[in-house]
């Protein structure tokens, strides 16, 4: 846990350093600077992909499920959040969260450091914005890999998870059935 904390601390410090070299800033309080850096870190920790215009949201989801199955990644959750919101009497743009996992890799990562349990399973959101455009949103797996000091035996497994999740996302973006 200390390794991850140190990595996140280093990332935060680097972000703060970049802000310091950005030129003469307008006077801001320390709290404003901290919030700005934190906001930037959150945005960098997520990747957002535009779904191709000729791909429906359902086709994107079907494509991701098929790709995950082909790559031996189990879909362990399917949360139709917009349907739940509608059932509660409110309008909602399409919002559905799919969760994928390789249980054996997850086990090894959590045994190495329990903090990884907070990132499990890998989530991929399929959403529709107010203009009707579909998007796929997931964690920036590259940032995660670079922020954590993994032992050599876990590095290939972490890269496999990254590559698999990005392949699943790519299938959804392009409707590769």
Same domain assignment for residues 73 and 108: yes
74 within 8 A of 119, measured Cβ to Cβ:
no
In terms of residue numbers, what domain contains 40? 1-44
For 141-154, how does the pLDDT look when each residue is reduced to its tens digit (9 = 90+)?
887 777 778 899 99
Same domain assignment for residues 157 and 107: yes
Q: Which of 120, 162, 117, 118 is nearest to 144 (CA)?
A: 162
Provide the token pair at 87. Answer: 């059932």
What are the C-alpha distances in Å from 103 to residues 125, 138, 164? 20, 19, 14
Same domain assignment for residues 26 and 52: no
What are the C-alpha distances in Å from 107 to residues 5, 57, 59, 102, 155? 20, 32, 31, 9, 14
The whole-number pLDDT of residue 120 equals: 87
Same domain assignment for residues 137 and 57: yes
Same domain assignment for residues 28 and 105: no
Same domain assignment for residues 112 and 167: yes
Same domain assignment for residues 24 and 63: no
Number of structural domains (the chain) is 2
For 71-130, how does the pLDDT look when each residue is reduced to its tens digit (9 = 90+)?
999 999 999 999 999 999 999 999 999 999 999 999 999 999 898 888 888 999 999 999
Same domain assignment for residues 52 and 40: no
Where residue 98 sits, what CATH number does that domain have? 3.30.310.70
Provide the token pair at 57. Answer: 């949201």
Work out the average pLDDT over 14-39: 58
* H/E segment holding residue 87: helix 81-87
Same domain assignment for residues 76 and 156: yes
- The region that residue 128 occupies, defined by phi over 0 for left and psi between -120 and 50 for alpha, beta otherwise, is beta
Same domain assignment for residues 61 and 126: yes
Same domain assignment for residues 80 and 135: yes
CA distance 138 to 169: 8
Same domain assignment for residues 112 and 68: yes
Q: How far is CA 67 from the centre of its chain?
A: 18
């Amino acid at each position: 846990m200390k390794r991850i904390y140190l990595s996140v601390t280093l990332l935060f410090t680097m972000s703060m350093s970049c802000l310091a070299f950005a030129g003469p800033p307008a006077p801001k309080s320390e709290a404003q600077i901290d919030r700005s850096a934190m906001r930037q870190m959150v945005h960098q920790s997520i990747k957002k992909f535009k779904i191709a215009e000729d791909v429906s949201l359902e086709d994107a989801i079907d494509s991701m499920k098929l790709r995950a199955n082909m790559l031996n990644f189990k879909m362990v959750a399917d949360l139709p959040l917009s349907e739940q919101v509608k059932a509660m009497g409110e309008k909602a743009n399409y919002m559905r969260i799919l969760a994928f996992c390789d249980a054996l890799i997850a086990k090894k990562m959590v045994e190495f450091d329990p903090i990884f349990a907070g990132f499990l399973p890998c989530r991929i959101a399929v959403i529709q914005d107010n203009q009707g455009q579909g998007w796929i949103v997931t964690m920036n797996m590259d940032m995660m890999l670079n922020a954590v000091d993994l032992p050599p035996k876990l590095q290939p497994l972490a890269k496999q998870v990254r590559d698999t999740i990005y392949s699943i996302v790519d299938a959804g973006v392009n409707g590769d059935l």
